[in-house]
């Protein structure tokens, strides 16, 4: 069962890398994509990603429990869960509000919210494969 926990952790890892570090930056380089359009697409994509991540986070917890995974696997998993929680509960609502202002043609003041979100994505990118590897160790 620990192998399932590892598979869940690596699947979650792959989704974060694919969306946050491939799709998102490339979207803004596509011909004809305006900032407002890119932000509108991003809002939809990240809402879906975060929902999928929440399901995977619950699945990871369930499989870590069921597989009696080593205690060490729980630490990076908890780091990933905490990062996701902060993104969903704190950062994404604020980023959504900024995006809506821009989509409506406004010009919000500068913000470092995206940097915080990216930092938490990087933390998950480190924590998830570590949790997966430790789950089967």
Pair 2, 135: CB distance under 8 Å:
yes
Sign for the CA dihedral angle at 110, 116, 121, 122 comes to positive
Indicate the SS3 state at residue 137.
coil
Q: Write the pLDDT tens digit of every residue in 69-97.
A: 888 999 999 999 999 999 999 999 999 99
Q: Write the pLDDT tens digit of every residue in 17-58.
A: 999 999 999 999 999 999 999 999 999 999 999 999 999 999
* pLDDT of amino acid 1: 64
* pLDDT of amino acid 69: 82
């Amino acid at each position: 069962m620990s192998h399932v926990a590892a598979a869940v952790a690596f699947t979650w890892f792959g989704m974060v890398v694919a969306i946050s570090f491939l799709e998102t930056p490339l979207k803004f380089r596509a011909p004809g994509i305006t900032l407002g359009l890119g932000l509108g697409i991003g809002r939809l994509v990240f809402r879906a990603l975060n929902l999928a991540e929440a399901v995977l986070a619950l699945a990871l917890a369930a499989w870590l429990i069921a597989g009696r995974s080593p205690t060490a696997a729980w630490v990076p998993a908890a780091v990933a869960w905490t990062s996701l929680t902060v993104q969903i509960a704190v950062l994404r609502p604020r980023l959504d509000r900024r995006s809506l202002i821009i989509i409506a043609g406004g010009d919000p003041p500068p913000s470092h919210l995206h940097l915080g979100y990216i930092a938490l994505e990087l933390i998950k990118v480190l924590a998830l494969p570590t949790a997966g590897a430790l789950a089967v160790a």
